[in-house]
Structure 1
């Protein structure tokens, strides 16, 4: 029973980073559409934001299986 609750928690924990990654790339696309010359600067920022948001989910996976 406890393992099932951990997996439910993992599913709920996936919602936050999923929404965050969607918002990050939506802002990136919007920024590039407004100023195409700033693409290289915005791309680095978007990838950094993606990595940080994805790290939260990787930590959640580790905790779900460890606990």
Structure 2
């Protein structure tokens, strides 16, 4: 029985959901920070995009783990 074939779609879905939640939190906190200190908008925007990039990279790593072949120990 190929367990990985059945679990891969679940891993893809969880990676997508986790990434969406993370990006939403990052953008929301950035908007809140800009509302409090508008003079830091440029710096906060750059940090926001960096955080989004790291969050998406973790999602791609999670999706890639679904493609790692599973072999049972002999």
TM-score range, shorter chain: 0.7 to 0.9
In 1, the alpha carbon distance for the partners of 2:57 and 2:10 equals 19
Q: TM-score, normalized by length of structure 2? A: 0.78
Tell me the matched-pair count: 67
| Displacement over 2 Å in runs of 4+ | none
Q: TM-score, normalized by length of structure 1? A: 0.85
Extract unaligned runs of 5+ from structure 2: 70-74
- Structure of greater Rg: 2
In 1, the alpha carbon distance for the partners of 2:10 and 2:42 equals 39
* Structure 2 residue 37 is matched with structure 1 residue 26: no
Give the root-mean-square deviation of aligned CA atoms. 1.4
